[in-house]
Amino acid sequence: MTIRFYVQDITLLSKLEIRFSSVDGMTTHLGWSLSRWKMSRGWNEVMVPIKSLTANGAESIDNTMVSIQVSVTGTGGAIVFDSIYVNRPSKAAVIFRFDDGWTTQYTKAFPILKSYGYVGTVGVISNYVGTTGYATLAQLLELQSFGWEIFNHTANHPDLTTVDPGLIRSEIDGCRQWMNQNGFRSASDIVAYPYGSFNQDVLDAMQGYKLGLSTQAELELAPPVSPLTLKTLTINNDTENSVYEAAVNQAVETGSTLIILLHRIEDSGTDEMIYHADKFAAMVDFLAGKSIEVSTFSEWLL
């Protein structure tokens, strides 16, 4: 089931609840709720596995539902509903998103994904390419030749919300220009905000860009309702396997897309940005047992 709604002011809301009932008067129902911290300002699209609805009384998904009740709690503010629909045909997908263009994305992640016939995407910081710890131009071109996609992660990786609004554009345009000049045209207009950080000035500066990648977690559907704040699941050194397993299972059940963000793939180390290669291999192996497609951003948008 997919619910699409618009939130005007997130700070005034507390919770959204939807109930479905097979009887008049809602004496029994199946319920679902979403708290504020899982919503974003603007358009939201939330994929709910039908079996995760909570039964109240002797209600069952096998019954024919005759009424829907929507309740919004908070101190004010409005939620505008666009649609609730079920069985929309869509395929489950995963996009591996590697930010910053670290060398180990080429030396460690690439061989693991390649052995499964999978591809990834790399967010390149154009002024860091070929410097210590970062992949070289030749390595990025090789990834691209194997079907990987290189996307824009700015020229110098500043927190864009702290940059003079007049200079935000030079960060994203600078990277795009470098990418276009070096053969990475397919996703030079797809931008990952450094530190996942954006505000209205940043969104205004994205005029003419196709996608903006946030670090807020949840699933997506193509085409996305809020293309400039695409959601992502961030995987850190201490992320439990159960976190991505649950997200992958939810994507499979709802036919939605999970973007998985990783940074450095290394054999050891405790830095939060490091994810151990053996754990990454286990993640990829888990995916291989699922009915889910591994995609790049531009394939996914087609």
- Closest by CA position to 135, among listed 180, 100, 183, 109: 100
Asked whether 97 and 259 are in contact (CB, 8 A), the reply is yes
Asked whether 213 and 254 are in contact (CB, 8 A), the reply is no
> For Zn ion, which is the closer residue by CB, 10 or 273?
273
CB of 168 to Zn ion, least distance (A): 16
The neighbouring-strand residues paired with 293 are 93
> For Zn ion, which is the closer residue by CB, 151 or 244?
151
What are the backbone angles phi and psi of residue 274, rounded to the nearest 5°?
-90, 135
CB of 107 to Zn ion, least distance (A): 19
Q: Which residue type sits at 80?
A: V
> For Zn ion, which is the closer residue by CB, 120 or 194?
194
CB of 143 to Zn ion, least distance (A): 17
Q: Cβ neighbours of residue 33 under 8 Å, at least 6 residues apart?
A: 15, 16, 17, 18
Report the residue closest to Zn ion, judged by CB. 99
Asked whether 256 and 47 are in contact (CB, 8 A), the reply is yes
The neighbouring-strand residues paired with 213 are 192, 230
CB of 20 to Zn ion, least distance (A): 41
> For Zn ion, which is the closer residue by CB, 99 or 189?
99
CB of 97 to Zn ion, least distance (A): 10
CB of 123 to Zn ion, least distance (A): 7
> For Zn ion, which is the closer residue by CB, 30 or 125?
125
> For Zn ion, which is the closer residue by CB, 215 or 250?
215
How far is 18 from 35, CA to CA, in rounded Å? Answer: 12
Q: β-strands 54-56, 29-35: how paired? A: antiparallel
* Residues near Zn ion (CB under 5 A): 99-100, 194
Cβ-count burial of 240 within 10 angstroms (0-12 exposed, 13-18 middle, 19+ buried)? Answer: exposed
CB of 153 to Zn ion, least distance (A): 6
How far is 142 from 125, CA to CA, in rounded Å? Answer: 17
How far is 216 from 196, CA to CA, in rounded Å? Answer: 8
> For Zn ion, which is the closer residue by CB, 77 or 158?
158
